[in-house]
Amino acid sequence: MYEFTHRGAGVNWAALDQMSRRLVSGSMASAVVAVMPLFKWTADAARRVGIEFQSPMPVDGTAVSTPSLYLPVAWIVVWVIGFAALSGLLWWRMSIRQDELFHRVQNWSLGMSGAWTAAALTVWGLLDMTGISPPIQAAAPLILFSALTILFGRTAARKWAS
* pLDDT (tens digit per residue) in 81-120: 999 999 999 989 988 888 888 888 888 999 999 999 999 9
pLDDT at 113 (0 to 100): 94
pLDDT at 9 (0 to 100): 38
pLDDT at 36 (0 to 100): 85
Average pLDDT over residues 16-31: 88
How far is the C-alpha of 86 from the C-alpha of 27, rounded, in Å? 7
144 pLDDT above the threshold of 60 = yes
- Among 9-23, 50-64, 110-124, 145-159, name the most confident range: 110-124
Q: What pTM did the predictor assign?
A: 0.66
- Among 29-43, 59-73, 115-129, 135-149, name the most confident range: 115-129
Q: Residue 10: beta bridge partners?
A: 5
How far is the C-alpha of 94 from the C-alpha of 1, rounded, in Å? 10
Three-class SS state of 5:
strand
What are the phi and psi torsion angles at 33 (to 5°)?
-65, -35
pLDDT at 116 (0 to 100): 96
CB atoms within 10 A of CB 6: 10
44 pLDDT above the threshold of 80 = no
pLDDT at 4 (0 to 100): 52
How far is the C-alpha of 24 from the C-alpha of 19, rounded, in Å? 9
pLDDT at 162 (0 to 100): 60
pLDDT at 117 (0 to 100): 95
All structural domains of the chain with their residue ranges: 18-96, 100-162
Spell out the residues 6+ positions from residue 126 whose beta carbon is closer than 8 angstroms to its own: none
